[in-house]
Amino acid sequence: MVVSTSSPASSPPIPTGGGGARCQPPRTVSMPARASRRSVSASGMPVPASRDPISLHRPLTSADLMEPTGDGLKVAYQGCPGAYSEAAAKKAYPSCQTVPCEYFETAFQAVEACVADRAVLPLENSLGGSIHRNYDLLLRHRLHIVGEVRLAVRHCLLANRGVKIESLRSAMSHPQALAQCEQTLTKLGIEHREAVDDTAGAAKFIAEQKLQDTAAVASSLAAELYGLDILAENIQDDSDNVTRFMMLAREPIIPRTDKPFKTSIVFSLEEGPGQLFKALAVFALRKINLTKMESRPHKKRPLRVADDHCSVPLKHFDYLFYVDLEASMADPNAQNALGNLKEFATFLRVLGSYPTDLS
Ligand SMILES: O=C(O)C(=O)C[C@]1(C(=O)O)C=C[C@@H](O)C=C1
pLDDT tens sequence across 225-257: 999 999 999 999 998 899 999 999 999 999 999
Q: Is pLDDT at 48 greater than 50 in this prediction?
A: no
Report the pLDDT averaged over residues 206-216: 97
The residues, ordered by sequence, that sit 6+ positions from 286 with a Cβ below 8 Å of its Cβ are 333, 334, 336, 337
Report the pLDDT averaged over residues 197-220: 97
User: So which residues are the catalytic ones?
Assistant: 243, 245
What ipTM is given for this predicted complex?
0.92
pLDDT tens sequence across 114-150: 999 999 999 999 988 999 999 999 999 999 999 999 9
Report the pLDDT averaged over residues 201-227: 97
Question: How many A from CA of 215 to the centre of ligand 1?
Answer: 17
> Rounded to whole angstroms, how far apart are CA atoms 100 and 126?
24
pLDDT tens sequence across 259-316: 999 999 999 999 888 999 999 999 999 999 999 999 998 876 655 555 555 566 666 6
Residue 26 has a pLDDT of 39
Residue 56 has a pLDDT of 62
Give, for ligand 1, the residue of 78, 85, 240, 242 to mutate: max count of ligand atoms closer than 8 Å to Cβ. Answer: 85
The alpha carbons of the chain give a radius of gyration, in whole angstroms, of 23
- Residue nearest to ligand 1 atom 9, measured at CA: 122
Q: Which atom of ligand 1 is nearest to the CA of 128?
A: 14
pLDDT band at 15 (very low <50, low <70, confident <90, very high): very low
Q: Which atom of ligand 1 is nearest to the CA of 85?
A: 5
Q: Where are the beta strands (DSSP E) in 139-289?
A: 144-152, 156-159, 170-173, 192-195, 214-218, 229-232, 242-249, 261-268
Residue 318 has a pLDDT of 84
- Which residues' Cβ are closer than 6 Å to ligand 1? 79, 83-85, 122, 125, 131, 153, 174, 176-177, 198-200, 243
Report the pLDDT averaged over residues 76-100: 97
Residue 34 has a pLDDT of 34
